[in-house]
Chains A and B, each alone.
Chain A
Amino acid sequence: MKGSIIEALKNGDSQTLKKIYLENKEPFMNFAKKYNLSNETLVDIYQDAIVALRENAMQGNLDTLKSEISTYLFGIGKYMIYNYYKKSNKERLTADISSHFNTNDLTEKEFIFEPIQLSIEQRLLKERFSDLGDKCKEILTLFYYRGFSLDEILEHLDYSSKNVLKSQKSRCLKTLKDLINNA
């Protein structure tokens, strides 16, 4: 059951994502009430936690998950709330709520999900990336986001040989570089 949910998440199944999102939303909001944040902020944090859950599933970090998915999700959410307090410099409040956090929980690798601030260079890259063909986007996403090896991509995308795939990937990178340089 849990395994099949994680598998569906890995495959980017949006129905599964929706189900997890909707099923855990109310419980999460109730659980997070005690942290005294606005509803809007909590929904935002909850969404970020779901994004992190999906990302961790996709990158294979949940393959050996021992706890329930919801427990894991709440753990991420809790960590994010803690981070939110830290970042908004609400020190007094942080002190108040720090009793709610067992900091040992927070150092687990899979919880680490630092927001990325794209540099100007990266923003240009992002824009050009969208101009790539679907095949290229897929290969590069599988490789750099999902962390697939070439062998795994080969299986996933039905390429005739690893060499074909390898040269396809190199062409994609070259096209992307050309797109950026010609911008």
Chain B
Amino acid sequence: MSKEELIEKYFKETLSETERAQFNTYLNEDESFKKEFEFISNLQETIVQKEREETKALLQSFEQSVKQRNWKKWLVAASIVLLLGLGYSLFFLKPSPDQLFASNFEPYANVIQPVVRGLNESDLKTKAFVAYENKEYELAETYFSQIYTKDKEPYSLFYLANTELAMGNISEGKRLLNNYLELPIDSLTEKANWYLALAHLKGGEIEDAQRRLRKIIQEDGYQSKQAKLILKKLN
């Protein structure tokens, strides 16, 4: 039996009694045998250690993958919660008075002067409504002001107020609407209530807005249904 085989048998634990005796003799007396044995012994331990390290690294990667999966799960859950929250706030969160104004304000339609283009555009009244319908509010402002100073026509005050609101001049709009409401009641009075309520909303005077809205509801006036909705959202 070769020395190499003896060493192998030692590691396989298959040495017989006589082989073991032989093995021990060599180990004590033969320097090169001893060296070879130590080399193989070191090699075996090294390979074992290497396998263990590699396996452990593999296990750590399992751990990592579980963590990542959990993390992903949490991320998905968090996203859903976030979306639900966002949806909830979009549907149920109180809209700001500003938002209520923005979603409700629409300059009141021209019910005074039917505009027939190219026909009688030269007179002031027509010019004013053409500009108003075309959303050229600065021009409309000029014409309605002129009509109002000249003729004191109530409608010009109402439409001037709408023009101011459309331009974002809320306090001027409010002032004009209040003036309008002091005039004798006509078909535009209930509309003026509505626009004043909106102007209060935009101006942040919530109590004034609520009072005005309640008045509209009470009188079952223009936009009273919408007024109920807004009042609900404000509470």
Contact check, B47 vs A144: say whether CB atoms are below 8 A apart.
Answer: yes
A29-54 residues at the B interface, CB under 8 angstroms: 43, 47-48, 50-51, 54
Contact check, A140 vs B48: say whether CB atoms are below 8 A apart.
Answer: no
Q: Please tell me which one of the listed residues B11, B59, B63 contacts residue A144 in the complex, with CB atoms under 8 A apart.
A: B11
Alpha-carbon gap, A18 to B63, bound state (A): 9
Q: At the interface, yes or no: A21 with Cβ under 8 Å from chain B? A: yes
The B interface, classified by DSSP as helix, strand, loop or mixed, is helix
Q: CB-CB contacts of B44-67 with A at 8 A, as 1s and 0s?
A: 111111111001101110110010
Alpha-carbon gap, A144 to B11, bound state (A): 8
Contact check, B47 vs A51: say whether CB atoms are below 8 A apart.
Answer: no
Given A17-B58, A51-B56, A147-B12, 15 new contacts (CB under 8 A): A17-B62, A18-B62, A21-B62, A47-B59, A47-B63, A48-B56, A51-B55, A54-B55, A55-B48, A116-B48, A119-B42, A122-B45, A122-B49, A129-B47, A145-B44
The interface centre, meaning the residue of B12, B45, B47 with most chain A CB atoms within 10 A of its CB, is B47
Find the A residue at minimum CB distance from B60: A47
Question: Which residues does chain B contribute within 8 Å of A18, judged by CB atoms?
Answer: 62
Question: Which residues does chain A contribute within 8 Å of B4, judged by CB atoms?
Answer: 170
Q: A21-B59, A48-B56, A55-B52 are in contact. Are A122 and B39 (CB under 8 A)?
A: no
Contact check, A149 vs B62: say whether CB atoms are below 8 A apart.
Answer: no
Q: At the interface, yes or no: A2 with Cβ under 8 Å from chain B? A: no
Contact check, B47 vs A145: say whether CB atoms are below 8 A apart.
Answer: yes
Q: At the interface, yes or no: A22 with Cβ under 8 Å from chain B? A: yes
Q: At the interface, yes or no: B43 with Cβ under 8 Å from chain A? A: yes
Q: How many residues of A contact B (CB 8 A)?
A: 30
Task: Sort A-B residue pairs by CB-CB distance and give the 8 closest, nearest first.
Answer: A144-B44, A47-B59, A116-B49, A126-B46, A51-B55, A125-B46, A145-B47, A122-B46
Question: Which residues does chain A contribute within 8 Å of B44, judged by CB atoms?
Answer: 144-145
The A interface, classified by DSSP as helix, strand, loop or mixed, is helix
Alpha-carbon gap, A122 to B39, bound state (A): 9
Contact check, B43 vs A125: say whether CB atoms are below 8 A apart.
Answer: yes
Find the A residue at minimum CB distance from B54: A51
Q: How many residues of B contact A (CB 8 A)?
A: 24
Q: At the interface, yes or no: A121 with Cβ under 8 Å from chain B? A: yes
- Measured CB to CB, the closest approach of chain A to B108, in angstroms, equals 69
Q: A55-B51, A145-B51, A147-B12 are in contact. Are A118 and B56 (CB under 8 A)?
A: no
Q: At the interface, yes or no: A6 with Cβ under 8 Å from chain B? A: no
Q: CB-CB contacts of B1-27 with A at 8 A, as 1s and 0s?
A: 000100000011000000000000000
- Measured CB to CB, the closest approach of chain B to A118, in angstroms, equals 6
Contact check, B47 vs A47: say whether CB atoms are below 8 A apart.
Answer: no
Alpha-carbon gap, A139 to B161, bound state (A): 96
29 chain-A/chain-B pairs, Cβ below 8 angstroms:
A17-B58, A17-B59, A21-B62, A22-B62, A43-B63, A47-B56, A47-B60, A50-B59, A51-B59, A55-B55, A116-B48, A118-B45, A121-B42, A122-B49, A125-B42, A125-B43, A126-B46, A126-B50, A129-B46, A129-B47, A140-B43, A141-B51, A144-B40, A145-B44, A145-B51, A147-B12, A173-B43, A176-B43, A177-B39
- Measured CB to CB, the closest approach of chain B to A52, in angstroms, equals 8
Q: At the interface, yes or no: A14 with Cβ under 8 Å from chain B? A: yes
Find the A residue at minimum CB distance from B45: A116
